[in-house]
A and B are shown apart, each in its own frame.
Chain A
Amino acid sequence: MTSVLHFCRRRSASLFAGLFGLALAVCAIVALLAWRRSPRRGLPYHDSFAAGKADEWKAFGGTWELADGGIRNDSDERGAKLVTGSPWWRNYTIEADVYLLGVSGDAGLLIRSSKEEEGVNAYSGYYAGVRTSDNSLVLGRADHGWQEETQRYPVANGIHPFQWYHLKLVAVGCEIAVSVGTTAQHDQTAFGISDPQCIASGRAGLRSYSSGSIWRNVFVRPATHQDIVEMLRKGSSHEPLLANTSEALSPNSPEALRDLEREQGLDAPVDRNVGNTRAQSIHSLLLASSAKPVRAMVRGVVVLTTPRLYVQDSSGGMYVSQYSGPPLRVGDDVEVRGEVHPGNFSSRMDHSAVQLLWGRSPVPPLSVTALQASTGRYDSTFIELHGLLTAKSRGPNDKLILDLNDGSQSFRAILNPGRSGALLSKLQLNSLLRLRGICVSDPSLTHNLTPFVLLLPSNEDLDVISGPPWWSTGHILALGISTALLAIISVILYHRIVDWRLRAILDERSRLAHEMHDTLAQSFAGIGFQLQAISNGVPKYMSQLHEQVELARDLVRHSHEEARRSIATLRAEALESEDVLGALEHCARRMVGNHMVVVATETQGDRRQIPLRTKDTLFRIGQEAVANAIRHAESSRISLRMVWADDKVTLYIEDDGIGFDPGSTSSGFGIRGMRRRAHAIAATLHIVSRAGAGASVWIEAPLPPRVTLASWPRILWKSMMEAWRHARTARTIGSHLYRG
């Protein structure tokens, strides 16, 4: 009863611990989800563009690069987007300085953006921006389609390209408000809308439409209704919006270029049919004299602006160095006049003046193979090709350098620093990449290591077509480790299941023993008492009846003893709390009962923990041997001895009874059962007996080896083999193994 209570208590404790652990895990998951969905997670946010970092931003279209302390989209694509933050951000404000690089189009900020895809209005959220075409502040909502506030909010002094504006967009509840001002004086023009079926949450972002742009100082902060009130109050004053001219301009800043443009009169309406000089094809410049400098004029499309300016027409491309002109974007149609220096495969134009003709979409790349590119035919041209990534590294000025192979050709791809940081860690060696960039055979870039290098305009010009093959060294190692872990887990699970099954059998046996004790044994005792009463009541002269009653009492007594022995063999609680020898001694003493048999025990060696299955098998075999000694051998002494060695344990059961012939058929069934049990745990059973000389039974069972770092693979292998052998044996023998 005590052990049953102990077992129940232990079960309850395990159950409680399990429930507590589960509750903790659920709480942790709920807390994690709550944290992830928190509308304030990651707020306030301030960009790190000036530090050259923008890994947290995700682009949808456009060509985004870090430049001049901000992030720049050079593309004239409609609706290029760059988003960041949590989709659960609700009430917040985003503000930034915005600089338009095109004479038409608009640029601005996104708020509560979600479901972003590549596409003009392919997102759900609100957009506000400054637009040059009608000099207005724009606010609208996109749901994969654009809906704009129809009333125009013109900005005093208009919206001009090449000028910084400070834009601020706030969303609180279902009220959205926007303001624009200069970098020195914010919130000069403002208005807001109330959208009853508003988009409740989403990321923050940057967006441009038909114009390249630069953004800097992007801040995102939590906002309240008071922020909207304040913004609208300031914005209603409608003070004249003046360009901020107080900022110091760096020589290469867009502002400086803008001044240059003004000086050259390039901000005036462009005459798109300049002069009488006929434009030459870029390819024809290769025929220019190399003996004396020749000036020429070409028209083409800008295909790269940084680190070098490349212009391309339908005949080829060229490098434009030392140029003056307006800030250029990829896709601009330009006219270039300058001094021609023909090269081997393409020309370079020095001391050039660049005039912007049209802003337009970038030209598509020519799809070629590395072999074709290595002929020089595509030098200075925007191409697309595939390559297998063999190495990646950082080069001078923190540029990302990729080494690639395509068939027999090797080449390099070079990407400007900035957003390439995330790319470097993401790209895996032996991946197949598709790259778009300017093919350059200039030895100053190739260092004569490869036939050409590819100058990539932005991160978006590199696609991973397929990752490395799965049979890489790392993967094979991981597979091996996973297999080993799986094998270990399987073996552990297998042993656990066997233990659980065995424990269930032991529990059932114990229950049966209790049942027999409470019913059968008590009944035998009752019958015995009744027979005694009958015997006492029968007159002495009825001797025949006395004899018959006495015979019946003997039979009852014998049956009672048998039942007691059976109960003793079935009871297994002892195994739970005692060692095998102790349990066996306990059982033997119960079986002996009133017989004059001495039970002696002895242990040699250091006792160790042994698996329950081994314990049970030793106990059952020992029990059978003790029962034989008591029932059949008429012995007066039974000796139980346990000998512990490093790798095995041996249980000896010896008696001084009449002995038997182990080979005789009458003793076969019990011994066969003992042998089967021994075989199931890979143990060896020995029986030695002679008539009149007692009997010795001993069983040698292997012990699990002690686990060390060096020994675990061998142990695992052995365990697996043992489990497999045991499973096979169990299948062959069937479930009768544990029937006692």
Chain B
Amino acid sequence: MVPQTEGTLRWEAAHVGAEEAVQGTGAFIYWNAPMRDGDVEAQIAVVDRIASGNYKGLVLAPDQALALVTPVRRAVARGIPVVIIASPLDVPPGGNLFYVVNDDAVGGRIAAERVAEALHGSGSVAILGVDPDFAGILERVRIFESVLAARYPHISVIEKRLGSPNAAHEQQVAQETIDEHPHLDMIVAMNGSSIDGALSALSSEPSSRHILLVGFDTDNPANIDNPHVVCIIQEDTRSMGRDAVRAILDKLDGRPVQPQTLIPPVVITRSNLNSAQVVRMWSQDWTLGRMQWSRLP
């Protein structure tokens, strides 16, 4: 299983989901990922190593929609079932290639509805963190804009900026956007780093107290308590990890597997932050997995 990176809330949750799926099956999860966000080269190296190793399946959260196509094709050609999670590649599913991905169309629609609700149907929006490396982000941006245009004509998208996994860069971009558009009402941050960058810029700019934020996929639950935040639309990586591993096990057992499964995102607000659904989604409870230790007296 190769997530985009490790040690973050989203991807550790995916690992918990995967461990949950293999519980009692005798299967073992090999878990490795690049040591930093956006390190496509390192991710390709891990995928190639797995494809040439003695593994029965591969679950991959690609760091880049295009660059991972060839390594994934190589793995599929070797007869390894591959499940793509989070954001799709630029190839359709089929054969030994399956998708268990975030339903970005739903995410985009929810974002448009929440923005409209917060702005009461009128205002200006800046979209930050548009990262073309992720097909899912482009999809959610497209749906978001089309829903706004169709249903809320008085809400206009006045700025759209490219993004990256680099929070410092995102903060700079947010700062420039706020400076250039003093009457901006809403920021829609398309990924975790753009949420961090935008909140950092908003927090240090007294004149931007009125600006609200709807964001996607944070790794920091504390962001939800930030007064600028309307909601965070979070991909359910735990369910993705679980369903992806189950798809591999089903495929290996000869059971039918859906070529594509869409996992709806979860909307997190201050009011449901401690709800069972959100707590479960972010749970790091390893008792499901292999840890059976006890504390020494």
Nearest CB of chain A from residue B297's CB, rounded to whole Å: 8
List residues of chain A with CB within 8 A of the CB of B289: 145, 147
Whether B12 lies near A146 (C-beta < 8 A) is: yes
Contact A120 B296 (CB under 8 A): no
Residues of A within 8 A of B34 (CB): 119
One of A77, A145, A150, A272 near B29 (C-beta < 8 A)? A145
Residues from chain A with a CB closer than 8 A to the CB of B32 are: 117, 119-122, 144
Are B35 and A61 interface neighbours, CB within 8 A? yes
**Stretch among B56-64, B83-91, B130-138, B165-173 lining the A interface:** B165-173
Q: Which residue of B lies closest to A229 (CB)?
A: B296
**CA separation between A195 and B286, bound complex, in Å?**
14
**What residue in chain A is nearest B18 (Cβ atoms)?**
A145
Q: Which residues of chain B are near A147, meaning CB under 8 Å?
A: 286, 289-291
Chain B residues lying within 8 Å of A358, measured Cβ to Cβ, are 167-168, 171
Interchain CA distance A118-B48 in the complex, whole Å: 14
Instruction: Please give me the residue from chain B that is nearest to A145 by CB atom.
Output: B31
Q: Is the CB of B296 within 8 A of A143?
A: no
Residue A553 interfacial (CB < 8 Å): no
Give B248-289 interface residues, CB cut-off 8 Å to A: 284-286, 289
- Which residues of B (174-221) have their CB < 8 Å from a CB of A? 175, 200-201, 204-205
B35 to A196, Cβ gap below 8 A? Answer: no
Task: For the complex, give the distance between the alpha carbons of A61 and B297 in Å.
Answer: 36
Q: Are A146 and B6 in contact (CB under 8 A)?
A: yes
Residue contact B42 to A333, C-beta cutoff 8 Å: no
Given A79-B7, A194-B296: A143 and B168 within 8 A (CB)? Answer: no
With both chains docked as a complex, state the minimum distance between the C-beta of B19 and any C-beta of chain A, in angstroms: 8
Cα distance, A333 to B166, chains bound together (Å): 10
Q: Say if the beta carbon of B54 comes within 8 Å of chain A.
A: no
Q: How far is the CB of A213 from chain B (nearest CB, A)?
A: 15
Taking the complex as formed, is B106 at the interface, i.e. its CB lies under 8 A from any CB of chain A? no
- A79 contacts B35, CB within 8 Å? yes
Contact A121 B31 (CB under 8 A): yes
The answer to the question of A440 belonging to the interface, with a C-beta cut-off of 8 Å to chain B, is no
Cα distance, A122 to B3, chains bound together (Å): 13
Residues from 29 to 54 in B contacting A, C-beta threshold 8 Å: 29-37, 39, 42, 46
Contact A143 B290 (CB under 8 A): yes
Chain A residues with Cβ below 8 Å from B33 are: 119-120
A151 part of interface (Cβ distance < 8 Å)? yes
Name which residue of chain B comes closest to A195, CB basis.
B293
With an 8 A cutoff between CB atoms, is B5 at the interface?
A: yes
Residue from B19, B39, B205, B293 in contact with A149 in the complex, judged by beta carbons closer than 8 Å: B293
**Complex Cα spacing A192 to B297, Å:** 8
- Would B6 and A196 count as touching, CB distance under 8 A? no
Which residues, 93 to 148 on A, are CB-close (under 8 Å) to B? Answer: 117-122, 141, 143-148
Is the CB of A82 closer than 8 A to any CB of chain B? no
Q: Which residue of A lies closest to B193 (CB)?
A: A360
Query: Are B293 and A193 closer than 8 Å at their CB atoms?
Result: yes
Size of the chain A interface, CB-CB below 8 angstroms:
45
CA distance A119 to B35 in the complex (A): 5
Bound complex: CA of A77 vs CA of B33, how far in Å? 12
In the complex formed, the residue of A with least CB distance to B201 is A273
Q: Which A648-689 residues have C-beta < 8 A from chain B?
A: none
A653 to chain B, nearest CB (A): 75
Q: Smallest distance from the beta carbon of B2 to chain A beta carbons, Å?
A: 9
Contact A196 to B290, CB < 8 A, known contacts A78-B7, A120-B35: no
* Assembly CA distance A150 to B285 (angstroms): 8
CB contacts under 8 Å to B, within A539-566, are: none
Asked if residues A177 and B6 are in contact (CB atoms below 8 Å), the reply is no
**B1-28 near A? 1/0 per residue, CB < 8 Å:** 0000111000010010001000000000
How far apart are the CA atoms of A145 and B37 in the complex, in Å? Answer: 17
> In the complex, which residues of chain B have a beta carbon less than 8 angstroms from the beta carbon of A195?
291-293
Given the complex of chains A and B, what is the CA–CA distance between A119 and B46 in angstroms? 9
Which A residues touch B200, using CB under 8 A? 272
A194 and B167 in contact, given A78-B6, A120-B5, A273-B175 (Cβ under 8 angstroms): no
Task: Using CB atoms, name the residue of chain A closest to B19.
Answer: A145
The residue on B at minimum CB distance from A105 is: B7
- With a cutoff of 8 Å between Cβ atoms, the chain B residues found around residue A507 in the complex are none
The reply to whether A79 and B296 contact each other, CB–CB distance below 8 Å, is no
What chain B residues lie within 8 Å of A579 (beta carbons)? none
Contacts of A61 in B (CB 8 A): 35
Q: Which B residues are CB-close (under 8 A) to A210?
A: 7
Tell me, rounded to whole Å, the shortest Cβ–Cβ distance linking A697 to chain B: 74
Partner of A148, one of B19, B284, B290, B292: B284
Q: Which residues of chain A are within 8 angstroms of B167 by Cβ–Cβ distance?
A: 358, 360
Output the least CB separation between B201 and chain A (Å).
7
Question: For chain A residues 169-205, which have a beta carbon within 8 Å of chain B?
Answer: 175, 177, 191-197
Q: How far is the CB of A569 from chain B (nearest CB, A)?
A: 68
Is B294 a contact of A193 with CB atoms below 8 Å? yes
**A121–B1 alpha-carbon span in the complex (Å):** 12
Residue from A76, A118, A148, A273 within 8 A of B205 (CB atoms)? A273
**Cβ contacts under 8 Å, A209 to chain B:** 7
The smallest beta-carbon distance between A124 and chain B, in angstroms, is 11
Residues of A within 8 A of B46 (CB): 119
Whole-angstrom CA separation of A271 from B284 in the bound complex: 33
In the complex with contacts A120-B7, A192-B295, A360-B167, A78-B36 CB distance below 8 A = yes
A78 CB contacts on chain B under 8 angstroms: 5-7, 35-36
Is A336 in the interface zone, CB < 8 Å from B? no
Q: How far is the CA of A255 from the CA of B286 in the complex (A)?
A: 38
CA distance A209 to B32 in the complex (A): 15
- In the complex, A232 Cα to B295 Cα: how many Å? 11
B204 & A357 in contact (Cβ 8 Å cutoff):
no
Determine the chain B residues whose CB is within 8 A of the CB of A272 once the complex forms: 171, 200-201, 204
> For the complex, is A361 an interface residue (Cβ under 8 Å from B)?
yes
- Complex CA distance for A61 and B32, rounded to whole angstroms: 13
Does the CB pair B36–A361 fall under 8 Å?
yes
**Chain A residues near B5 (CB-CB < 8 A):** 78, 120
Distance in Å from the Cβ of A311 to the closest Cβ of chain B? 13
**A299 to chain B: which residues have CB within 8 Å?**
172
The answer to whether the Cβ of A80 comes within 8 Å of any Cβ in the partner chain is yes
Which residue of chain B is the closest to A236 with respect to CB atoms? B297
Q: How far is the CA of A177 from the CA of B36 in the complex (A)?
A: 30
- Is A228 interfacial (CB-CB < 8 Å)? yes
Residues of B near A360 (CB, < 8 A) are 166-168
A121 touches B35 (CB 8 A): no
Q: Knowing A144-B32, A148-B286 touch, does A273 contact B204 (C-beta < 8 A)?
A: yes
CB distance from A108 to the nearest CB of B (A): 14
Q: Is the CB of B296 within 8 A of A175?
A: yes
Chain B: which residue is nearest A232 at the CB level? Answer: B296
- Chain B residue at minimal CB-CB distance from A331: B36
Which one of A76, A145, A192 lies within 8 Å of B15 (CB-CB)? A145
Most buried by B among A175, A299, A301, A358: A358
Chain B residues within an 8 Å CB radius of A149: 293, 295
Q: List, in ascending order, chain A residues with CB within 8 A of B168's CB.
A: 301, 333, 357-358, 360
Give the Cβ gap from B275 to chain A, nearest Cβ, in Å.
21
Residues of A with C-beta under 8 A to B35: 61, 77-80, 118-120
The 4 A-B residue pairs whose C-beta atoms are closest, nearest first, are: A120-B6, A192-B296, A145-B31, A361-B36
16 residue pairs from A and B, CB less than 8 Å apart: A78-B36, A79-B6, A79-B35, A119-B6, A120-B7, A121-B7, A144-B32, A145-B15, A148-B284, A191-B295, A193-B295, A194-B296, A228-B296, A358-B171, A360-B167, A361-B36
Using CB atoms and an 8 Å cutoff, list the residues of chain B in contact with chain A.
5-7, 12, 15, 19, 29-37, 39, 42, 46, 166-168, 171-172, 175, 200-201, 204-205, 284-286, 289-297
Contacts A77-B35, A177-B296, A358-B167 supplied; 20 other A-B pairs, CB < 8 Å:
A117-B32, A119-B32, A119-B35, A120-B5, A120-B7, A121-B6, A144-B31, A144-B32, A145-B31, A147-B291, A148-B286, A194-B293, A195-B292, A195-B293, A196-B292, A273-B201, A273-B204, A360-B166, A360-B168, A361-B36
Q: Which residues of A contact B (CB under 8 A)?
A: 61, 76-80, 117-122, 141, 143-151, 175, 177, 191-197, 209-210, 228, 232, 271-273, 299, 301, 333, 357-358, 360-361
